[in-house]
Structure 1
Amino acid sequence: MNEPGTLNPSPLSSLSAEPEVSARPTETDVPVRPAVSAAPPSPPRGRFARLPHLAGRSFIPVGLFARLPLAMLTVGALTLVTSSTGSYALGGTAAGAVGIGSAIGAPVIGALADRHGQRPVLLVAAVLNALAVLALIGTAWAVPEDGSFPAALILSAFLAGGSCPQVGPLARVRWMALTARGKGKDADRDLDTALSYEGTADELTFVLGPALVGILASVVAPWLPLAVAVVMTITLVPAFAVHPTHKAVPVRLIPGANSAPAHAAGTSAKSSRAARIHAAVSLPVLAMVAMGTFFGSTQTALSSFSASFATSEIAGLLYAVLGVSSAAAALSVAYWPRSFKPAARWLVSAALMAGLAPLLLAPDSLGGMVGVLLLLGLPVGPVMVTVFAIGGIVAPAERLGTVMTALASGIVAGTALGASVAGQLAQHAGYHAAFAVPVAAAGALFVLGVAAAAVLRKHTT
């Protein structure tokens, strides 16, 4: 028990503190007096004010800035390699290698975190990633001049992406563990709030990251953004790794490695359940691929669109408009009624997104496009928050980190796919054709939402 007048410990203190036994005077030692006890402070009532109460005040800023290097890596590789070699093709290839490496490496890091715990995996990933990015910086200035393929450069770019610490997905795993300590509606509401914040944090970092790369590369030197990313990785990622919240996530052995052979009937039942789980998990992952396709194709189509009116560099500012409205809408999910279930949220938000996406074909001015992007961003944030929430619902507890990182890698893979397809269409048929890709991606999100509603109903019954 707490002494009278002392504060209640935070939820995190129970992760490491042992119960204390203190000597107290007996009734025969002192006169009996009425007990005077201070009421324990109640948790903050504001939705987002409760998050520091759950995780500790340092968790939010550390988790926010520790994911910034990932947002800087792809654009930083593109900028550095293009500047050092003078080849846009080689710069794009290096950026693509970063994306492919991240898409492959993220689920591996998530699976290792599930098996061995987040702290050791993130600490090792931080060191490996820092070395890989330093190798990328070095090989970018040592590209062969004889026109031969720069294998060392592409390999270092791939390793830089593959080893990048997955702070955002693993932060979501921690929030799920922390909010699971609550009860009933409060726990559900806290999880919605935490995931809303995480969606906004991702949006902000993927807007701020490329902007920071552009400022540092243009004002100082093209290698500086990646050097700054190395410094942030080697300092902030370990701080996130050792934060006490990692203790809230239990380390579970992946079942089946050491288990005895099951009875045939039991094996059949387990196989059927595994098939349902895979179907339930695959739909959110595919949705994130579609979401990434929407992002990548929109960025590329906006480059072609803005080049028709001014310069292609304006595309970054236009895309930031979409990010701002998306981030604001993501925050609003915390205040949506509990009766509005995740499957219904996905359907409604994706339907709105699919209905608004064709407006991208309409503007014939920069001002008109700004208005469309502000409007279109409103359903984007809620779709992302909801898909991550559904991923957490359908994921087996022992593979939660794997699923969360797979969702994040789906966005990366989809972004590369969308940028590639939209780039080809923009090159040969103009920006109107390129905008057809995000329209199709939004439609795919709605179709996947319909399928997920049916699968989720079976999964939860």
Structure 2
Amino acid sequence: MKPFTSDQHSGADTPPSAAADVPAKGRYARILELAGPAFFSIAFLARLPLAMITIGGLTLVTSISGSYAQGGFTAGAVGVGSALGGPALGYLADRIGQRKVLLAAAVANPLLITAVILAALQLPDGGPFAAVLAAAFGMGATGPQVGPLARVRWMALTSRDRTGREMGTALSYESMADELSFVLGPALVGLLAAAVAPWLPLALAAVLSASMVSAFAFHRSAAVVVPAPRRIREKTPVPRGRAARGSTSWGLLMLPILGMVAMGTFFGSAQASLAAFGGTFGAADAAGLLYSMMGISSAAAALSVAFWPQRFSQSARWVVAAAAMTAAALLLLVPSGIPGMLAVLFILGIPVGPTMVSIFGIGAEVAPRHLMGTFMTLLASGTVAGTAVGSGLAGPLAEAFGHPAAFLVTAGAAASLLILGLASALAVRRARNQTA
């Protein structure tokens, strides 16, 4: 494989990639060739801490304090921190490069995870809950934004392919990787918290953050993303057909961001609701294991999107998948036992993955090139911020009225995704008509 160079980011006028004509069965082999095998294992392990810290904080505080509300507020503090810190990290990556930002996060994040553990362990002795919230906020704010920054790398790596197939395949893979991380992350939290101690999942997240995020920072794919100031100095050309995207209206840009907030609300409320549902069977610590069932089907469905026909547009995919999510979310009110809930969660996960792929796909189409890292982290932070909203709403509802009331938040979030999908479809069509 040829060594990476900054020319891959430029998108200069070169012949279309030979991979443009690769049959569907070879699309994933092509992105493996582009990034190198080590990229996939490193990037996957590096994104696990972000998948663990929210539900890890919720599980730790709920187990120690016995309060679903305090657990929900802790998860909310993580989400608020990530919502503010994530885009800041993305903007810095756009300005000074990914490597420096990721290495700083690999140092700061483990320290703040440790602070959360120590503060939470003081709660039974009268330790202040405010200290837990402050440390949780910092833990979220320094959370390594591996998924969004990996997507920026893919945009550079696939810039020579004018058909968009390589980028679509990469986005499908990234959504699958996100989903698998949010399967394995909560599952690890549930297993380690139930079998060993509730603080152990966060301790593992700290170790992974220090080691694997550093490895991701040093991976050679970081070299393909040229920071905006350097690109201007070197007069690196903008890929053909993409220059006009910088003028995209903020109204259109906000729709994918709000979509990811709704997606996060869906996730956060489901996590908190499942903790309460498991609690009725004396298994509140197993919420991560229940939640992982939805992630399994979601990951498989996300991977399949690479093979969907291109005439099935991103906007249409968002609407159809969100409609299916809304219908399936209502089934959460039906089960009265663990087996039934596992079946519903598996069904519910099927439209989740394609919805995420579609939202990120629209984001990649409309975002300004020079702020791509910022926008991708905004999308990811929207998910985490929504998780905070969902946990903050569903946790107190579950404590006051039981898990059925909390699941209504999950269904409402899915319905919001459908409404935003319809609005996005109209906005994208209007924008295309104006530029036609």
Normalization by structure 1: what TM-score? 0.80
Q: Is 1:74 aligned to residue 54 of structure 2?
A: yes
Matched residue SS, 1:46: helix
Q: Pick from 4, 15, 28 the counterpart of residue 13 of structure 1.
A: 4
1:95 and 1:407 map into 2 onto residues whose CA distance is 18
Alignment of 1:312-461 (within 5 A): 312-460=284-432, 461=435
1:80 and 1:429 map into 2 onto residues whose CA distance is 22
Alignment of 1:180-191 (within 5 A): 180-182=159-161, 184-185=162-163, 188-191=164-167
Q: Deviations over 1:24-46 (max 9, x none)?
A: xxxxxxxxxxxxxxxxxx98962
Q: Is 1:128 aligned to residue 104 of structure 2?
A: no
Aligned partners of 2:273 and 2:394 also within 8 Å: yes
Relative to 1, partners in 2 of residues 1:324 and 1:143: Cα closer, same or farther, differing over 3 Å? closer
Give the deviation of 1:92 after TM superposition: 4.5
Q: Pick from 215, 223, 227 the counterpart of residue 239 of structure 1.
A: 215
Aligned partners of 2:333 and 2:407 also within 8 Å: yes
Q: Structure 2: which amino acid aligns with 1:96?
A: G
Relative to 1, partners in 2 of residues 1:254 and 1:90: Cα closer, same or farther, differing over 3 Å? farther
- Largest Rg, 1 or 2: 1
Aligned partners of 1:179 and 1:191 also within 8 Å: yes
User: 2:239 is matched with which residue?
Assistant: none
Aligned partners of 1:394 and 1:459 also within 8 Å: no
Moved more, 126-135 or 377-386: 126-135
2:256 and 2:135 map into 1 onto residues whose CA distance is 30
Aligned partners of 1:43 and 1:53 also within 8 Å: no
Q: Structure 1: which amino acid aligns with 2:259?
A: A
Moved more, 203-212 or 377-386: 203-212
Give the deviation of 1:62 after TM superposition: 0.5
1:291 and 1:169 map into 2 onto residues whose CA distance is 16
Moved more, 204-213 or 297-306: 297-306
Give the deviation of 1:50 after TM superposition: 1.5
Q: Pick from 87, 97, 120 the counterpart of residue 117 of structure 1.
A: 97
1:451 and 1:105 map into 2 onto residues whose CA distance is 28
Aligned partners of 1:144 and 1:150 also within 8 Å: no
Matched residue SS, 2:28: coil
Give the deviation of 1:414 after TM superposition: 1.2
User: 1:165 is matched with which residue?
Assistant: 144
User: 1:175 is matched with which residue?
Assistant: 154
Q: Structure 2: which amino acid aligns with 1:399?
A: L
Give the deviation of 1:289 after TM superposition: 1.0
Moved more, 43-52 or 373-382: 43-52
Q: Structure 2: which amino acid aligns with 1:237?
A: V
Which segments of 5 or more consecutive residues in structure 1 lack a partner in the other structure? 1-8, 18-41, 257-272
Q: Is 1:199 aligned to residue 167 of structure 2?
A: no
Give the deviation of 1:103 after TM superposition: 1.6
Aligned partners of 2:47 and 2:146 also within 8 Å: yes
User: 1:25 is matched with which residue?
Assistant: none
Aligned partners of 2:52 and 2:185 also within 8 Å: yes
2:33 and 2:22 map into 1 onto residues whose CA distance is 7
Relative to 1, partners in 2 of residues 1:62 and 1:16: Cα closer, same or farther, differing over 3 Å? farther
Aligned partners of 2:72 and 2:396 also within 8 Å: no
Aligned partners of 2:69 and 2:399 also within 8 Å: no
Give the deviation of 1:138 after TM superposition: 3.7
Give the deviation of 1:171 after TM superposition: 0.5
Aligned partners of 2:109 and 2:142 also within 8 Å: yes
Higher relative contact order (CA 8 A, sep 6+): 2
User: 1:104 is matched with which residue?
Assistant: 84
Relative to 1, partners in 2 of residues 1:402 and 1:47: Cα closer, same or farther, differing over 3 Å? same
Give the deviation of 1:306 after TM superposition: 4.2
Aligned partners of 1:94 and 1:154 also within 8 Å: yes
Of all paired residues, the percent bearing the same amino acid is 54
2:360 and 2:155 map into 1 onto residues whose CA distance is 11
Q: Pick from 23, 32, 46 the counterpart of residue 52 of structure 1.
A: 32
Relative to 1, partners in 2 of residues 1:306 and 1:253: Cα closer, same or farther, differing over 3 Å? same
2:313 and 2:60 map into 1 onto residues whose CA distance is 45
2:148 and 2:154 map into 1 onto residues whose CA distance is 10
User: 2:18 is matched with which residue?
Assistant: none
Relative to 1, partners in 2 of residues 1:81 and 1:440: Cα closer, same or farther, differing over 3 Å? closer
Relative to 1, partners in 2 of residues 1:317 and 1:225: Cα closer, same or farther, differing over 3 Å? closer
Relative to 1, partners in 2 of residues 1:435 and 1:132: Cα closer, same or farther, differing over 3 Å? closer
Q: Pick from 45, 48, 64 the counterpart of residue 65 of structure 1.
A: 45
How large is the RMSD of aligned CA atoms in angstroms?
3.0
1:456 and 1:297 map into 2 onto residues whose CA distance is 29
Relative to 1, partners in 2 of residues 1:203 and 1:46: Cα closer, same or farther, differing over 3 Å? same
Give the deviation of 1:275 after TM superposition: 8.2
Matched residue SS, 1:97: helix
Normalization by structure 2: what TM-score? 0.84
Q: Deviations over 1:54-101 (max 9, x none)?
A: 111111110000011112222333444556667665554443322221
